[in-house]
């Protein structure tokens, strides 16, 4: 019901329509049954999973025991070479990398006069950042090891996991617009692998509990899936752009190389 109401509010997209009611035939024509069902599962499932993890963390249910077991198990598997590799991977989710990438995407969208898409991009990232800060402040769960100050000393949910999904996940949707299925699969595999590696690196390095990572991924996935569907319903500019992937790739590689070298 919630997903349906949200779509009703966001799918008033035909300027020549006689009323503003949601035309489900138009929604299905634009998205397809499979994509709409997949989005609904991601949104509803993501919210449900996040709330379930939140309840377990607050009530210290068995999930907390799993957190401790995974943390202790990974500590026993660590060795210097993999430590350095995981630190480098983790830094791909730092603001020093995600912020330049985010700004580069925004500049490209504005240069192409995609005002509405630029607005979605800003809302996606700003809301994800604000929600993470709010939950950290509300739950105030301490990290397995204390290496940060202020609100970042709290671990739930993982900022790296949530914001990696927000940045790289919504970017994936934008890059896939108008491209053939083979290219879309390649983009999804690349971005999904990047998010998975960043998330695992936080767990491996012992700066987050497993439930922090899972909560961040579920929250970010639900939010980006909803925004992608709502944007797609009104999207009238689906031209394939080669400027966006080129600018993003150059910005990502440059900022990542500078950040990792400075931290080495």
Question: Which pLDDT does position 254 carry in this prediction?
Answer: 95
Q: What is the mean pLDDT of residues 119-144?
A: 92
- Number of helices and strands (H, E) in the chain? 12, 0
Overall domain count for the chain? 1
Quickly state the pLDDT bin for 16 (edges 50, 70, 90): very low
* Structural domain of 232: 2-263
- Is residue 85's pLDDT more than 60? yes
Q: Write the pLDDT tens digit of every residue in 18-28.
A: 444 445 555 55
* Burial bucket for residue 21 (CB in 10 Å: 0-12, 13-18, 19+): exposed
Q: How confident is the model at residue 193 (pLDDT cuts 50, 70, 90)?
A: very high
Residue 247, pLDDT > 70, answer yes
Is residue 131 very low, low, confident or very high in pLDDT (cuts 50, 70, 90)?
very high
Distance between CA atoms of residues 203 and 197, nearest Å: 10
Query: What separation, in Å, do the N-terminal and C-terminal C-alpha atoms of the chain show?
Result: 50
Is the pLDDT confidence value at 209 over 60?
yes
What's the predicted TM-score (pTM) here? 0.83
Task: Give yes or no for a contact between 173 and 117, defined as CB atoms under 8 angstroms apart.
Answer: no
Looking at residues 223-248, what average pLDDT do you find?
81
pLDDT of residue 169: 93
Rounded mean pLDDT of 138-160?
A: 84
pLDDT at 191 over 90: yes
Q: Which of 7-11, 13-17, 37-41, 88-92 has the highest mean pLDDT?
A: 88-92
Residue 150 has pLDDT above 80, yes or no: no
* Residue entry with tokens 């790289």: 168
List, in order, residues 6 or more apart from 182 with CB less than 8 Å away.
none
User: What are 47-66's pLDDT values in tens digits?
Assistant: 999 999 998 888 887 788 88
């Amino acid at each position: 019901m919630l997903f349906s109401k949200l779509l009703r509010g966001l799918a008033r997209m035909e300027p020549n329509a006689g009323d503003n009611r949601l035309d489900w035939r138009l929604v299905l024509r634009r998205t397809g049954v499979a994509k709409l069902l997949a989005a609904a599962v991601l949104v509803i499932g993501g919210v449900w999973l996040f709330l379930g993890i939140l309840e377990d963390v607050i009530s210290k249910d068995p999930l907390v025991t799993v957190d401790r077991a995974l943390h202790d198990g990974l500590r026993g598997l660590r060795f210097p070479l993999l430590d350095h590799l995981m630190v480098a991977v983790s830094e791909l989710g730092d603001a020093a990398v995600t912020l330049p990438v985010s700004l580069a995407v925004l500049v490209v969208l504005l240069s192409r006069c995609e005002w509405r898409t630029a607005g979605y991009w800003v809302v996606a990232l700003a809301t994800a950042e604000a929600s993470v800060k709010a939950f950290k402040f509300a739950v105030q769960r301490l990290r397995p090891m204390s290496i940060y100050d202020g609100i970042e000393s709290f671990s739930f949910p993982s900022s790296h996991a949530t914001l990696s999904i927000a940045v790289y996940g919504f970017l994936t949707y934008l890059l896939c617009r108008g491209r053939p299925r083979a290219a879309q699969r390649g983009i999804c595999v690349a971005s999904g692998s990047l998010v998975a590696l960043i998330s695992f690196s936080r767990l491996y390095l012992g700066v987050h509990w497993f439930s922090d990572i899972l909560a961040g991924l579920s929250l970010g996935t639900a939010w980006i899936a909803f925004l992608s569907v709502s944007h797609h319903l009104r999207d009238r500019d689906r031209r394939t752009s080669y400027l966006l992937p080129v600018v993003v790739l150059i910005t990502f590689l440059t900022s990542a190389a500078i950040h990792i070298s400075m931290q080495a």
